[in-house]
Each structure stands twice: as C-alpha cells, then as structure tokens.
Amino acid sequence: MPAAPPPLFQPTLILHGGAGAIHRATLPPDLYAQYHASLLAYLRSTRALLADGASALDAAVHAVARLEDDPLFNCGRGSVFTAAGTIEMEASLMVTSVPGAAHPSAGIVKRGVGVMGLRNVRHPIRLAREVLVRSGQGQGQGQPGGDGGSMHSQLVAPYVEEVLARQWGLEFMPDEWFFTQRRWDEHLRGLRGEGETVAMSQGTVGCVCLDRAGGLAVATSTGGLTNKLPGRIGDTPTLGAGFWAEAWEEVERAGEKGVWDLTLGDCLPGFALKGKKRAVAVSGTGNGDSFLRTAAARTACAMSRFSTPSPSLAEAVTAVAGPGGELQRSAGDRWGSTGEGQGGIIGIEAELEDPVVLETGDAHDRTKLRKGNVVFDFNCGGLWRAWVEDSGNGEEVERVMVFREEYQ
C-alpha cells in the first residue's frame, strides 16, 4: 500500500456555548464553575479525537452531541420552550477543506445542511450529519437514493424526524427527557414579562474543528429563542446566516499586495505569481433573527475572501460580530433594549502557501505542521467559549472564558 500523505496541520478547535446578556451580577461562582467544567471537558474529549486522527466532521459532531446532552446549554436536552410550551430544535453542519489538501470531505457534495422543527431525536446534530453525508446520488430528483438520502440541503420535521431519522436508526427520547425545570420556569417568566435573575445559556452551541489533513467542519445546534412562535426557523439551520464554511485559492503578483484570481496566471505567463490557499469556517450564536437579516456568517467569510486587500478572518468576524459591527448596527435605535443585534461568532482560518514547502525529505517524510488561526468576537455581555491557543513558547494552552476578561 502507498504511504499515507503526511499531516499538513496541527489539529485545533474552538467551541461555544451561547452568547447574550450575561453579566457577573447574574452569574454566581457556582454556576460559572458548572459551565466552565462542562466546556473544558468537551474541549478535551474533542481535542483527543482530533489528536488520534479523527476528521473535523466527526470531531465537531462529537463536541456538539456532548453539549446536546448537557441541560446547561440551549440545545438538545437543555432546549428552551416555545410560546406554546413545546420544544423545536434545530441543527446544522458544513464542511470544507484547504484547496489541494486531498481531504475526504471533498467528496461530500452538499457541503452544508440544516434540520429543524425537531422534537424527540436525542441528538439533532447526528441527524444533520446523516442528511449531510447521504446524497442519494444517481436517483431521481428529490427522491430518496440508495443510501436513503437526497440532495436537499434543508429539511424540516416531521418527515426528517419521524421517517428519515427512524429509518437511519437514530436515538429518540420521550418528551419528559427534554423537560428541565430551569427552562420551564424561564418560559413562564417570559410569558409574564419578567426578567431573568440568573444568566442561562442562550443562542446556540457550536464547534469548529480543523483536522490534520486540512479539513474544516462547523457544527451548530439550538433550541431557538425562548418563547418563540411555533414554527419559527432561526439562523442555526440556515446556510450563510448562523454558519458557513468555504475555501478558495488566491494568487498574488510578486511584489504587490493585490490578490488576483488564479486563472490570470494562465493568461499572463510572464508575471511571477505566488499562491495562497485559504479555508474558513464560522459558527454564530445570539439573536438569530439578526443573523438572518445580515447573513452574518457568510458576510464575515465573504469579507475575508472578496475584500481588497483581503482581511484576516479575525478582522472580518470583528467587523460583523464585534462591538459596533454589522450585527449591532442592524438593530438601529433598538440596540440595547430588545436583544436585537446581540451575538458572537467563532471560527477557524487555515492557510497553505503554494507550493507547500517541506522541512526536509520528500512528500512522504516530514512536513512542517501549519497552525489554524482560532478567532472569535462578540458584542454582548458574554460569549461562552473554549479553545486551544499557543502559549508563546510552543506549548498549547486550553482556555475557557465567558467575558472579555477572566471571571473573578
């Protein structure tokens, strides 16, 4: 058998547990400790999977499935209630890979999917995964294929849950399994117009992973907005609003900063060109209606791809989700009074120079591992997030935070 190609990247990840009006006054130390412990545990288990060679897709699904089983978070078992006292869950997945990385995700033709209106499937993110990888290729348009799938990118219950999820053997739980007293009390207080005295995770949960082969995956799951109208669909299952992933190639004329389309090299062979291959993936959390109105996730990625000069993903995320960014501006004079525009975005950016330069040896020897750039920003009180960063001396450090400063 031919030798496996060398790894290109040092695996990394970031996950979030929701964003919103989170403040120290409503986040007592014992509750903070619970969130911190959960996020750290899920960060570590997902990091271990990536270190063992798991794909970004499998690792991201693992992380979000763990969050869906944790009643602290607004997804799965901890989902909020609609105005009618029911639960309607949503989840999504999207994959990409650094161009030229020969990653298996390149064979996933749909790239991204969303599922919505779910009531009893235990792990909405696992249902999203099945919808993503089952394409039904070779079958009639819109008809289930040999793998039970189709080319549809968005599917709503009851069919996707009561027919497809059961057909694919996914686990179901009864209504009472999803009931939590904290969320029910929150539901009742909301109906009475009362405020919250204790900060609870809002928005969504999500995870972005980069694997060693250059694959990126973003997984997102939510119970939606507290007391939303039944049937409301948010940003979480909507491509471009609550999540996005894409990759592209850039070419730069030597000595200049302007980025040219790759095809110019064929037309102008006399110019010295250098190439760069980029891939990005982001997951959002916060006021989903604002993410929908601004196509927030895709907007951030498009800024990074199409602006000249091309900003980093970190700069683009700040322009959309940071203080004074596009999300905040979308709320207009309602900012600060309705919850509109509030939110945050996490993501990872990965790059390869063209051609790939090896440290020593040939293509099956030792390659210098590249590092993905973990990014995040938010414009509200807090964003629960956990990630791995470089300590500055070559070692990786696990971080869990909710505010911009350390919790005291």
- Contact at 8 Å (CB) between 142 and 153? no
Is position 383 within any domain? yes
Q: What is the pLDDT of residue 261?
A: 47
Per-residue pLDDT tens over the stretch 95-154: 999 876 666 666 677 899 999 999 999 999 999 999 999 988 754 444 555 788 889 999
Is position 195 within any domain? yes
Structure tokens at 275: 């190439």
Q: What is the pLDDT of residue 182?
A: 92
Name the nearest CA neighbour of 91 among 156, 174, 188: 156
Assign 3 a pLDDT band (cuts: 50, 70, 90): low
- Contact at 8 Å (CB) between 17 and 385? yes
Is position 3 within any domain? no
Is position 121 within any domain? no
Q: Is the pLDDT of residue 343 over 60?
A: yes
* Domain that includes residue 307, residue range: 9-101+180-401
Q: Is 288 annotated as a binding residue?
A: yes
Q: How far is residue 156's CA from residue 238's CA, in Å, rounded to a whole number? A: 12
Q: Is 393 annotated as a binding residue?
A: no
| Percentage with pLDDT > 90 across the chain | 70
Q: How far is residue 106's CA from residue 99's CA, in Å, rounded to a whole number? A: 9
Q: Is 359 left (phi over 0), alpha (psi -120 to 50) or beta?
A: alpha
* Catalytic annotation, residues: 204
Query: Alpha-carbon Rg of the chain, whole angstroms?
Result: 21
Question: How many Cβ atoms sit within 10 Å of the Cβ of residue 329?
Answer: 13
Q: How far is residue 343's CA from residue 323's CA, in Å, rounded to a whole number? A: 10
Q: How far is residue 170's CA from residue 4's CA, in Å, rounded to a whole number? A: 33
Q: How far is residue 31's CA from residue 235's CA, in Å, rounded to a whole number? A: 27
Q: What is the pLDDT of residue 47?
A: 98
- Contact at 8 Å (CB) between 372 and 208? no
Q: Is 348 annotated as a binding residue?
A: no
Cβ-based neighbours of 384, under 8 Å, separated by 6 or more: 16, 17, 18, 19, 22, 35, 39, 201, 401, 402
Predicted TM-score of the model (pTM): 0.89
Q: Is the pLDDT of residue 359 over 50?
A: no
Identify the CATH number of the domain in which residue 48 sits. 3.60.20.30
Q: Is 232 annotated as a binding residue?
A: yes
Q: How far is residue 66's CA from residue 74's CA, in Å, rounded to a whole number? A: 12
Q: Is 233 annotated as a binding residue?
A: yes
DSSP 3-state assignment of 255? coil
Q: What is the pLDDT of residue 190?
A: 86
Is position 113 within any domain? no
Is position 221 within any domain? yes
Question: Exposed e or buried b for every residue in 340-362, given b needs 16+ CB within 10 A?
Answer: bbbbbbbbbbbbbebebeeeeee
Q: Is 74 annotated as a binding residue?
A: no
Is position 261 within any domain? yes
Name the nearest CA neighbour of 167 among 101, 215, 98, 121: 121
**Among 76-90, 136-150, 290-304, which stretch is predicted with the lowest mean pLDDT?**
136-150
Q: Is 360 annotated as a binding residue?
A: no
- Give the count of domains, the chain: 1
Is position 137 within any domain? no
Residue bearing the bigger pLDDT, 337 or 288: 288
Q: Is 235 annotated as a binding residue?
A: yes
Per-residue pLDDT tens over the stretch 216-264: 999 999 999 999 999 999 999 999 999 999 999 987 655 554 444 444 4
Name the nearest CA neighbour of 168 among 151, 142, 152, 145: 145
Instruction: Give the DSSP per-residue string, 213-225.
Output: TSEEEEEEEE--S
Cis peptide leading into residue 355 (ω within 30°): yes
